[in-house]
Chain A
Amino acid sequence: MKISVVGTGYVGLVAGTCFADTGNEVTCVDIDEKKVNSLKKGNIPIYEPGLSDMVRRNVKGERLLFSTDIKSAVEESQIIFIAVGTPPDEDGSADLKHVLAVARSIGTHMNGFKVVVNKSTVPVGTAEKVEAEIKKHTDHKFAVVSNPEFLKEGAAIDDFLRPDRVVIGVDNEEAADIMRSLYRPFVLSGKPILLMDRRSAELTKYAANSLLATKISFINDIANLCDILGADVEMVRKGIGTDSRIGSSFIYPGTGYGGSCFPKDVQALIRTANDHDYSLEIIRAVEEVNKRQKTVLVDKILDYFDGNIEGKTFAMWGLAFKPKTDDMREAPAIDMINSLTAKGAKLRAHDPEALSEAHRIFGDRVGSELELLDKRYDALEGADALIVMTEWNAFREPDFYLIKESLKTKVIFDGRNLYDPGRLKKLDIDYFSIGRPNGNGHVKPRF
């Protein structure tokens, strides 16, 4: 099939490449000329395991093209995916200006029946809006489909090739058949393709992300309660995660969820519900807890240093919002850096992939209050304490003797519960994590 994918970010690039890999002819379109040019040269703008090989293979096989020319892409394709960004508006609702702009171009350049597929995460009712926008500009027949994407950054290729399920919201038989055959190669193992109405499909994406965010905020609240009660959240996690109705994933305590999806999707869902005069109480609580969670480790640090960190230097391991990605959107590390520098501290941060993102985000602040370092142990030089923010594998088994030697105060603040409190106690390193009793007596989080 001839497909174009408009918007060549995480989702667009992965979707386009994977569709090309199953034999379709795919044009990936973006307005960002620089991005398109570097893709043409074989430079992949994002870090995603396995992606660059796959892009190269399909470009070579002439199934994958990059272009800024939406007109010819639309004209030559039977299926057009919209995968542009839907960043949050100021009020938290999803900003649809890119989606609707693309819809307008599609309408303008339409030359026959097309299936227009929304892959971006969009609020309930967007399919109707896209349909109306296209209709303004064309008399050709078309169908708008909602096909939310569930891939995870860091495992995007695998998620796309082997999805738990494919959700397709569609109200047109022909489009349903086309979508089914497009996805057939990805569900040969028997995973379901769920056909439903478009509104349900749109809501499914938000509901799924919101429930995952709920799991995270739930366990974070349990962790804070563990700090107060002297229970161990790691045991509580095992005790509840072995319940098949709960499951062991997404109940790892930490410094709050971040990334380009959870915070934005949770807010957008709250907003959509508000627009319909409905208040989603649990999800609102989930968001509130997440905001609070970003301060829990900060409070532990401040408590440890008696409220004064002026002139102190902190080594920080991990900047990306999670491992195996360079994505720092809404990363808890950003909040941590801002909180500590606001109190007069300096940071020496290391991340295996996200340093250039950090350079972009912190700009001039790099070099003055924030140093970015290529090697994890370099970050420790002259530092008072170590803070762990992302659970990269490389941080799991560090040389604790070296850490102890390097740090002025022998203390680690671990936002990801990577280390065994008993082991660090033996090493005589003060250790604070999330929701686990430690040998140093409890530091009670302030709320």
Chain B
Amino acid sequence: MHICVIGTGYVGLVTGTCFSEFGNDVICVDIDEGKIADLNKGKIPIFEPGLDLLVAKNVKEGRLTFSTDLKNAVERSLVIFVAVGTPPNEDGSADLQHVEAVARQVAESMNGYKVIVNKSTVPVGTGNRVREIVEESRKDNHSFAVVSNPEFLREGSAVEDFMRPNRVVIGAESSESVAIMKELYSPLYLIETPIVITNLESAELIKYAANAFLATKISFINEVANFCDEIGANVHHVAKGMGLDKRIGSKFLHPGPGFGGSCFPKDTRALAGAGRERGFEFSIIDAVVRVNDRQRQTMIAKIRTTIGSLRGKTIGVLGLSFKPNTDDMREAPSVDIIKALLQDGATINAFDPVAAENARQIMPDINYCKDTYETADGADALVFITEWNQFRSLDLERIKSLMKQPVIVDLRNIYDPAKMADCGFKYASVGRPVSATVR
């Protein structure tokens, strides 16, 4: 099938590349000329395991091209994916200007029946809005269908998630467009991927509801962790005891500094906002957002109590991206935490395996180190903010000998409190008092 993907960010590039891997002819379109020029030179603008090889392969085999020419791409495609950004407005609602602009341009470029698929995360009602725009702006009354096909991939395992999704959600209004979408996803039938077919509104809501629920699990366990700190229980035991219940599941029950990234913060606020606009108070999500904001403050307080006064201290920060295996710094907890530490008068030496470049744009006035040991060198304390695998088995003796004093605040519970105590570290983590011993 001939398809195009408009917006070549995380989602657009992965979607386009994977569909070309399935054997389709794909044009990836972006307005960012620099990005398209890079991609045409074989440079991948984002860090995503496995993506570069897959792009190279499909470009070489002639199924994947990059372009800034939206009109030409639409003319040559039956299915048009819209995967542009939907950043939050000031009030937390999703900014739809890119989606609407693309809808207009697509309409003006139509030369026959088209299936216009929203892959961006958009509020309920956007599918209808896109239909209206296309109806107003299209030439020659060409017929078309609007589909909502929210994307569930995770940065860091995006290709794998796209190729082996838990499910595919298709919100549509005509059987013809459903048939075309099912055909596109038919390679996934082999792995028996469930396909949920529903109306536009429900499909749009599914994406927000799923993210909001996952965010709820995170905030839930963070509250339990803070409570464990109060009462001297161990959140990992509690989480394990809970997670083994099939109805709960063990995933997303890891305490930490709160969720960040380009999706959870934005989608939770947008969902609560969509309710509020219609006079509906989404109490749980409001609480989830509040708890997440509070969690960063709790972490800052934890650092302060563990280290004492920060004035004049050198703090080594390990991990900056909002989660491991990505260079994405959007709404990363590290940003708020580092800002507070700087305000307290600390000097920050930071290391992240891949996100340092992006971090530098947001935080130009901290020192970026080349590895963990340089970060530890001369530090009064080390703070783990992202649980990159390479932080999991560090040479603790060496770290200790490099540091001015052996103090570690581990916001991802990477290490065992008892072991750290044995090594002679003053050690704080999230929801795990040393007294609640591990058997």
A residues with a Cβ closer than 8 A to B are 124-125, 150, 164-165, 167, 176, 191-192, 194-197, 199-204, 207-208, 210-212, 214-215, 217-218, 221-222, 224-226, 228-232, 235-236, 238-240, 242-247, 249-250, 273, 276-278, 280-286, 288-289, 447
Contacts and interface: CB of A to CB of B under 8 A. Distances in A.
Nearest to B167: A242
Contacts of A285: 283-284, 286-287
Contacts of A278: 226-227, 230
B199 A232 contact: yes
B275 interface: yes
B125 interface: yes
B291 A276 contact: no
A299 to B, nearest CB: 13
A5 B439 CA distance: 27
* Consensus secondary structure, chain B interface: helix
B231 interface: yes
A243 B193 CA distance: 11
Interface string B72-112: 00000000000000000000000000000000000000000
B228 interface: yes
Interface of B: 124-125, 152, 166-167, 169, 194, 196, 198-199, 201-206, 209-210, 212-214, 216-217, 219-220, 223-224, 226-228, 230-234, 237-238, 240-242, 244-249, 251-252, 274-275, 278-288, 290-291, 294, 435-437, 439
8 contacts: A197-B233, A200-B238, A239-B202, A240-B213, A242-B196, A278-B226, A289-B284, A447-B280
A282 B251 contact: no
Contacts of A288: 283
A236 B209 contact: yes
Contact of B201 (A212, A229, A243): A229
A246 to B, nearest CB: 5
A235 B246 contact: no
Contacts of A192: 244
Q: Of residues A208, A210, A236, A277, which shows the largest number of chain B Cβ atoms within 10 Å of its Cβ?
A: A236
B61 to A, nearest CB: 32
B247 A250 contact: yes
Contacts of A242: 166-167, 194, 196
Given A208-B242, A249-B247, 17 more contacts: A200-B237, A203-B228, A207-B224, A207-B242, A208-B248, A218-B284, A225-B274, A225-B275, A228-B280, A231-B199, A232-B199, A232-B202, A235-B196, A242-B166, A281-B291, A281-B294, A285-B283
A394 to B, nearest CB: 24
Given A212-B248, A229-B125, A236-B206, A203 B231 contact: yes
Contacts of B220: 210-211, 214, 282-283
Contact of A240 (B209, B233, B287): B209
Contacts, number: 206
A247 B213 CA distance: 11
Contacts of B282: 221, 225
Contact of B251 (A208, A228, A244): A244
Contacts of B283: 221, 285, 288-289
Contact of B242 (A196, A204, A250): A204
Contacts of A284: 287
A43 B223 CA distance: 45
Contacts of B279: 447
Contact of A245 (B212, B230, B252): B252
A241 to B, nearest CB: 9
Contacts of A230: 201
A243 B152 contact: yes
Q: Of residues B194, B206, B246, which shows the largest number of chain A Cβ atoms within 10 Å of its Cβ?
A: B206
A240 B210 contact: yes
B201 A196 contact: no
B164 to A, nearest CB: 11
A150 B228 CA distance: 21
A282 B219 contact: yes
A200 B284 contact: no
Contacts of A195: 439
A195 B438 CA distance: 9
B157 to A, nearest CB: 12
A217 B284 contact: yes
A231 B201 contact: yes
Given A285-B283, A285-B287, A239 B169 contact: yes
* Consensus secondary structure, chain A interface: helix
Contacts of A229: 124-125, 201, 205, 274, 278
A231 B209 CA distance: 12
Contacts of A217: 284
Q: Of residues A194, A195, A196, A207, which shows the largest number of chain B Cβ atoms within 10 Å of its Cβ?
A: A207
B209 A201 contact: no
A218 B241 contact: no
B262 to A, nearest CB: 18
A197 B234 contact: yes
Contact of A167 (B203, B241, B275, B287): B241
B242 A211 contact: yes
A165 B204 CA distance: 37
A238 B286 contact: no
A410 to B, nearest CB: 26
Contacts of B167: 239, 242-243
A153 B209 CA distance: 29
Given A196-B237, A211-B248, A281-B223, A235 B216 contact: no
A344 B213 CA distance: 40
B249 A244 contact: yes
A370 B285 CA distance: 39
Given A232-B202, A245-B214, A197 B241 contact: no
B284 A282 contact: yes
Q: Of residues A196, A239, A247, A285, which shows the largest number of chain B Cβ atoms within 10 Å of its Cβ?
A: A239
Q: Of residues A222, A226, A288, which shows the largest number of chain B Cβ atoms within 10 Å of its Cβ?
A: A222
B237 to A, nearest CB: 4
A240 B238 CA distance: 25
A83 B283 CA distance: 35
Nearest to A202: B233
A13 B251 CA distance: 34
A277 B230 CA distance: 9
Nearest to B432: A200
Nearest to B281: A447
B418 to A, nearest CB: 13
A203 B245 CA distance: 15
Given A236-B202, A239-B210, A245-B214, A165 B227 contact: no
Give me the 8 closest cross-chain CB pairs, A-B, nearest first.
A239-B206, A204-B241, A242-B167, A235-B198, A196-B237, A165-B244, A285-B287, A285-B283
B196 A239 contact: yes
A367 B206 CA distance: 46
Contacts of A164: 244-246
B234 A222 contact: no
Contacts of B278: 228-229
A338 to B, nearest CB: 23
A214 B234 contact: no
A165 B198 CA distance: 37
A318 B122 CA distance: 40
A204 B237 contact: yes
Contacts of A289: 283-284
A192 B194 CA distance: 30
Given A214-B220, A243-B210, A273 B247 contact: no
Contacts of B234: 196-197, 200
Nearest to B212: A218
Contact of B233 (A194, A199, A212, A225): A199
Given A196-B439, A235-B206, A243-B210, A201 B241 contact: yes
A273 B278 CA distance: 33
Nearest to B239: A207
